[in-house]
Chain A
Amino acid sequence: MEPTSPKAFFSPDMFMRNFAEAEPGLTRKGAAEESNRCLYCYDAPCIKACPTGINIPSFIKRIATDNLRGAAHTIMDSNPVGASCARVCPTEELCEGACVLNDASEPIEIGLLQRYATDWAMENDVQLFTAGSPNGKRVAVIGGGPAGLSAARELAREGFAAVIYEARELAGGLDTHGIVSFRLPQSVSLWEVEQVKKLGVEIRTGVKVGTDVTVEELKSEYDAIVLAAGMGYVPELGIPGEELAGVYDAIKLVESTKTGVSNLQLTGQRVAVIGAGNTAVDAATCSVRLGAANVKMVYRRTREEMTAYDFEYEFAKQEGVEFNWLTLPKRIVGDGLGNVTGLECVTMKLTGETGSDGRLKPMPVEGSEFIMPVDAVVLAIGQKRHTGLIEHLGLEHEWGVVKIDETTHRTSDPLIFAAGDIVFGFGKGEAMVVSAAQQGKTAAHAIIKQFLPQQDSVVGSAV
């Protein structure tokens, strides 16, 4: 991080430096040492802890024996967005958390090894998979994020003609647009998109289902549909002042930094980020790297209840982000010219009463209102649901969460399957990229089974 004085000009060079990938990858020697440390467990717990079931000991053994193509194939075979996941997975809660070496010494750096192998594939422009011979069936995939890409990739390998409808100009979903570049460079996600494209999957970008193409057209043109449209931008908080200049949507803030130099600069500003999830942390660290003088995260609960991962919290602290726990925003204060000057908050306390989500309920402390002087407010309190699209497709849902059969991911419409954040509801674990990838695979496998019941699947077979 370059220090910036309040009025300093934030140069493109500085931007590129601040937004370049923060964590260095393993060196060849580092990868050799780390891969040789792996015990090559039988029935390994790391495999079971990976939502996509990557054969981790096998890919690590391939790295150890200088077979990086084989390692990358093993990873990407199970996880079509394995290069992104190598960077953004909460590995200490998944594979690395399950490593048997945790108590014996140190867990294997599985994420870094996964990145080492997939980086090799990226740098060498390797095409890892081939399309199956066409079976005449066509599937439309709505949404080109991790779930949609995974579904399309698996379908293409079985010979289905898959067409992805992507509303944005670039596919990849949150991997491409919504995770800060210093954790996940856009090029990584776009390489994964390219891998899917090379299997003959057509990606129609800038096409919004329901607007540019009708649901009826899709239903008549395709044998099945995979709905993987994810979620939308951040909803309004519902407090006065959200219309003021200097109030930002966290996802749009991050998005503005993903493709080249952001025109959104926070040089010298005092920024309050409302929320404490993964995106809130990304928005906070993003604000720091956009030159903010001070960044505070404002959260009505405590550290215990925050949904961001430990490694994200640690990273934010290292970046100098401050945390205001038990603080509820009441009003965004303006200066009369329409610019943000402060955030009125009230202090909270935990009641000891447990809410429906199992977390302790916070309550305002009477008369504890105060104004936090800030120049910008970033909202990161969740994401909007694509309820309109879901209803357009005629699918049953609960508060914008598509209802599915958990084993097949089939919706109330037998020809429509749903995967990823669009089926992510409360109490369903965590909305991880790796889970979305697995759900896309599951939906695709259900379609394959439905249309090609007699065939032995090549998908997921050993190398």
Chain B
Amino acid sequence: MADLSINLAGIKSPNPFWLASAPPTNTGYQVQRAFEAGWGGAVWKTLGDPIINTSSRFAAVNFNGQRVAGFNNIELITDRPLDVNLKEIYETKKRFPNHAVIASLMVEPTQEKWHEIVKRVEDVGVDGLELNFGCPHGMAERGMGAASGQQPDLVEAQTYWVKEVATTPVIVKLTPNITDITVTARHAVKGGADAISLINTINSLAGVDIHTWNTIPHIGGKGAHGGYCGPAVKPIALNMVAECARHPEVTVPISGIGGISTWQDVVEFMLMGSTAIQVCTAAMHHGFRIVEEMIDGLNNYLDEKGLASVTELTGKSVSKYSNWGDLNLNYKVVARINEDNCINCNKCHIACEDTSHQCIDMLTNAEGKAILQVREEDCVGCNLCSIVCPAEGAIDMVEVDSGLPPMTWNERQRVVGSLSGSYSKAEVL
């Protein structure tokens, strides 16, 4: 059994599984149930001036009969009085002293407001603070959440105000609704953040009811944009985590968030630079018990890899994430079809024929059996056939020797530039 405990900027937790600040962490009852189920930490549903939530709040995107591929919500921060939340945080921390309880905070962007709330929540014994600069709906329209999170100077200033009084580690939660998330990440660091967490939800409209023509969800016939999360957003989140992790000026630990549903997702987020992770949608879909399988899967994986501690995963793939201009253009893979495993659905053929490079032929072999064959000389190694192939082991993407030495686009441009005697501006960074 590997050691699953982590330490994110001084916040200790028995395992890297935290519940994100969201409906699952609304009350002490819920957070305590989560800890009983095995979650190592919880970021309490955002505290601030209580608001009023709408009835009809969530919606999901289903895909090919599978429910909740993506999830959308228009619920705001806590709608319960601050006193009540603080009392429950105190009780929870008392019952679970070794679990991480982090208070998510969102107030108007003034120094006084931040000072006031930081002092009040730290008084009840939280392990850390998470500044919610990401909530994309409702609060943003009032200058909070994503509205302040989209302005790098406001991110920096508010982080600074918090750090002026905070005695516990400060995590800044970033919004993905921005062109380059590393900009706000850098400003959070400049403001003194001890860690960053990302991503918050992505602006979204879950759907339109094609029969009533109402938005999904609708509140008495009207809708508004919500925040998107769940498995569908994982690749977006993973990229943003990786971009932050590899940025030389983002020097603080990362709490990875975005569509994490399985232990494999956790491993991926940690390999790409996360010290810990946060989950919401998977718990909302299946209940807190889902953490049991995540813990067990992670444990078995670590044992299988011979890793003594989960912390050994953090950042191991970051150096492999690069710029397009630094990729070796002379690396070559081609598709190879294994007839023994092929079930002849012909999906590779039609995908290649219609939408890629027309190099998979439908043939009949000497025994009269229908077979599929790749013309390797025309294969560009796009992977599409292996992506659409439903049969295990039927298509391998095989590395072949291109006969050429490694050469990236940027190297090529430099060579071209030196030959023409002028500096090439066509490098891709």
Interface residues of A (CB under 8 A from B): 32-33, 35-36, 39-45, 64, 100-101, 103-104
Residues on B with beta carbons closer than 8 Å to the beta carbon of A41: 344-347
Residues on B with beta carbons closer than 8 Å to the beta carbon of A42: 345-347, 349-350
Judging by beta carbons under 8 Å apart, are A104 and B390 in contact?
yes
In the assembled complex, the CB of A189 is this many whole angstroms from the nearest CB of chain B, namely 32
Residues on A with beta carbons closer than 8 Å to the beta carbon of B64: 36, 64
Q: Is B37 an interface residue (CB 8 A)?
A: no
Q: Is B65 an interface residue (CB 8 A)?
A: yes
Bound together, the chains give a CA A382 to CA B391 distance in angstroms of: 44
Bound together, the chains give a CA A44 to CA B390 distance in angstroms of: 14
Bound together, the chains give a CA A36 to CA B66 distance in angstroms of: 9
Q: Is B1 an interface residue (CB 8 A)?
A: no
Q: Is B382 an interface residue (CB 8 A)?
A: no
Q: Which of B343, B346, B347, B350 contacts A101 (CB 8 A)?
A: B343
Q: Which of A32, A43, A45, A103 contacts B65 (CB 8 A)?
A: A32
Bound together, the chains give a CA A81 to CA B346 distance in angstroms of: 29
Residues on B with beta carbons closer than 8 Å to the beta carbon of A39: 345, 347, 390
Bound together, the chains give a CA A85 to CA B347 distance in angstroms of: 28
Bound together, the chains give a CA A12 to CA B64 distance in angstroms of: 45
Q: Which residue of A lies closest to B344 (CB)?
A: A100
Interface size on B, residues (CB 8 A): 14
Q: Is B362 an interface residue (CB 8 A)?
A: yes
Bound together, the chains give a CA A41 to CA B349 distance in angstroms of: 10
Judging by beta carbons under 8 Å apart, are A64 and B345 in contact?
no
Bound together, the chains give a CA A100 to CA B342 distance in angstroms of: 9
Residues on A with beta carbons closer than 8 Å to the beta carbon of B65: 32-33, 35-36, 64
Residues on A with beta carbons closer than 8 Å to the beta carbon of B391: 104
In the assembled complex, the CB of B334 is this many whole angstroms from the nearest CB of chain A, namely 21
Interface residues of B (CB under 8 A from A): 64-66, 343-347, 349-350, 362, 390-392
Residues on B with beta carbons closer than 8 Å to the beta carbon of A40: 347
Judging by beta carbons under 8 Å apart, are A100 and B350 in contact?
no
Residues on B with beta carbons closer than 8 Å to the beta carbon of A33: 65
Q: Which of B345, B349, B362, B392 contacts A100 (CB 8 A)?
A: B345
In the assembled complex, the CB of A437 is this many whole angstroms from the nearest CB of chain B, namely 27
Residues on B with beta carbons closer than 8 Å to the beta carbon of A45: 344
In the assembled complex, the CB of A29 is this many whole angstroms from the nearest CB of chain B, namely 9
Q: Which of B343, B349, B350 contacts A103 (CB 8 A)?
A: B343
Interface centre among B343, B344, B349 (most CB of A within 10 A): B343
In the assembled complex, the CB of B338 is this many whole angstroms from the nearest CB of chain A, namely 14
Interface centre among B65, B345, B390, B391 (most CB of A within 10 A): B345
In the assembled complex, the CB of B351 is this many whole angstroms from the nearest CB of chain A, namely 8
Number of A-B contacts (CB under 8 A): 37
Interface centre among A36, A41, A101 (most CB of B within 10 A): A41
Q: Which residue of B lies closest to A34 (CB)?
A: B65
Residues on A with beta carbons closer than 8 Å to the beta carbon of B362: 43
Bound together, the chains give a CA A396 to CA B310 distance in angstroms of: 84
In the assembled complex, the CB of A55 is this many whole angstroms from the nearest CB of chain B, namely 15
Residues on B with beta carbons closer than 8 Å to the beta carbon of A43: 346, 349-350, 362
Q: Which residue of A lies closest to B347 (CB)?
A: A42
Q: Could you list 28 examples of A-B contacts with CB < 8 Å? A: A32-B65, A36-B64, A36-B65, A39-B345, A39-B347, A39-B390, A40-B347, A41-B344, A41-B345, A41-B346, A41-B347, A42-B345, A42-B346, A42-B347, A42-B349, A42-B350, A43-B346, A43-B362, A44-B345, A44-B346, A45-B344, A64-B65, A100-B343, A101-B343, A103-B343, A104-B343, A104-B390, A104-B391
A41-B345, A41-B347, A100-B344 are known contacts; what are 19 more A-B pairs with Cβ within 8 Å? A32-B65, A33-B65, A35-B65, A36-B64, A36-B65, A39-B390, A41-B344, A41-B346, A42-B347, A42-B349, A43-B350, A44-B345, A45-B344, A64-B65, A101-B343, A104-B343, A104-B390, A104-B391, A104-B392
In the assembled complex, the CB of A51 is this many whole angstroms from the nearest CB of chain B, namely 20
Q: Which residue of B lies closest to A101 (CB)?
A: B343
In the assembled complex, the CB of B385 is this many whole angstroms from the nearest CB of chain A, namely 12
In the assembled complex, the CB of B229 is this many whole angstroms from the nearest CB of chain A, namely 23
In the assembled complex, the CB of A200 is this many whole angstroms from the nearest CB of chain B, namely 34
Bound together, the chains give a CA A44 to CA B350 distance in angstroms of: 11
Residues on A with beta carbons closer than 8 Å to the beta carbon of B349: 42-43
Bound together, the chains give a CA A64 to CA B64 distance in angstroms of: 7
Bound together, the chains give a CA A100 to CA B66 distance in angstroms of: 22
Residues on B with beta carbons closer than 8 Å to the beta carbon of A44: 345-346
Q: Which residue of A lies closest to B210 (CB)?
A: A66
Bound together, the chains give a CA A43 to CA B349 distance in angstroms of: 10
Residues on A with beta carbons closer than 8 Å to the beta carbon of B390: 39, 104
Residues on A with beta carbons closer than 8 Å to the beta carbon of B346: 41-44
In the assembled complex, the CB of B346 is this many whole angstroms from the nearest CB of chain A, namely 4
Residues on B with beta carbons closer than 8 Å to the beta carbon of A100: 343-345
Q: Which residue of A lies closest to B388 (CB)?
A: A39
Q: Which residue of B lies closest to A57 (CB)?
A: B345
Bound together, the chains give a CA A44 to CA B65 distance in angstroms of: 22
In the assembled complex, the CB of A44 is this many whole angstroms from the nearest CB of chain B, namely 8
Q: Which residue of A lies closest to B391 (CB)?
A: A104
Bound together, the chains give a CA A64 to CA B392 distance in angstroms of: 24
Bound together, the chains give a CA A103 to CA B343 distance in angstroms of: 8
In the assembled complex, the CB of A57 is this many whole angstroms from the nearest CB of chain B, namely 10
Closest 7 CB pairs of A and B: A36-B65, A42-B350, A42-B346, A41-B345, A100-B343, A36-B64, A100-B345
In the assembled complex, the CB of B94 is this many whole angstroms from the nearest CB of chain A, namely 46
Q: Which residue of A lies closest to B63 (CB)?
A: A36
Q: Which residue of B lies closest to A98 (CB)?
A: B344
Bound together, the chains give a CA A45 to CA B64 distance in angstroms of: 22
Q: Which residue of B lies closest to A33 (CB)?
A: B65
Bound together, the chains give a CA A16 to CA B3 distance in angstroms of: 66
